[in-house]
Chains A and B, each alone.
Chain A
Amino acid sequence: GAGVSQSPSNKVTEKGKDVELRCDPISGHTALYWYRQSLGQGLEFLIYFQGNSAPDKSGLPSDRFSAERTGGSVSTLTIQRTQQEDSAVYLCASSLVFGQFFGPGTRLTVL
């Protein structure tokens, strides 16, 4: 079946603009995660959704970052007033029981 998909694959924006990144998880997966992969920083957890429960936002680096998940499926990560330090690859993963399956990522470049 189809894996996790993300769009766009690449996004170039200007400092101060808002961006939206989309994630389509594997059908039936109840858990959805967002991570950020920065150059030289490894992967850091951002936010987690489980079913209809309130998301765990403990990893979001600032209040410019937000995410929502509609209908327990598609998720959108929004970054407002982007800064150059937001440049990174944003990864989405979904999971049913264990073993998170990752999407290809969205490479965000803030000029």
Chain B
Amino acid sequence: AQRVTQPEKLLSVFKGAPVELKCNYSYSGSPELFWYVQYSRQRLQLLLRHISRESIKGFTADLNKGETSFHLKKPFAQEEDSAMYYCALRAAGVAGNMLTFGGGTRLMVKP
């Protein structure tokens, strides 16, 4: 069975500081990894996925299969980045590609 772990429940940084939200996974096959974000009083929304290798709102994430990690990074945090961040894994063929989520990390960016 697949599993996603986000070791930090809360991450607090100052504006302008670098941010790294950790995500580790376990899955025997070839996974597809995502980061979802939930701003206050808003719905969960897709931030980025590893396949597209894109940068969204200054965030990037690289899939490291050797370390089974998919950490989310941003060089300079902004106050508007404060939100809940969820790492998710999609295992192709399992329950129609349902997502397995980590427990989430709350990012607080202080002024």
A residues neighboring B (CB under 8 Å): 3, 31, 33, 35, 40-45, 48, 50, 56, 58-59, 91, 95, 98-105
Contact = CB atoms under 8 A, between A and B. Distances in A.
A44 to B, nearest CB: 8
Contacts of A104: 43
A99 B46 contact: yes
**Interface residue range, chain B:** 20 to 34
Interface of B: 32, 34, 36, 43-46, 49, 86, 90, 95-104
B44 A42 contact: no
Contacts of A33: 98-99
B82 to A, nearest CB: 19
A103 B94 CA distance: 22
B44 to A, nearest CB: 4
Nearest to B44: A102
Contacts of B100: 45
Nearest to A89: B44
B43 A105 contact: yes
Contact of B95 (A3, A56, A100, A101): A56
A74 B12 CA distance: 40
A59 B101 contact: no
A98 B49 contact: yes
B99 A42 contact: no
A56 B105 CA distance: 28
Contacts of A48: 95-96, 98
B85 to A, nearest CB: 11
A43 B34 CA distance: 14
B98 A42 contact: no
Contact of A42 (B34, B49, B102): B102
A39 to B, nearest CB: 11
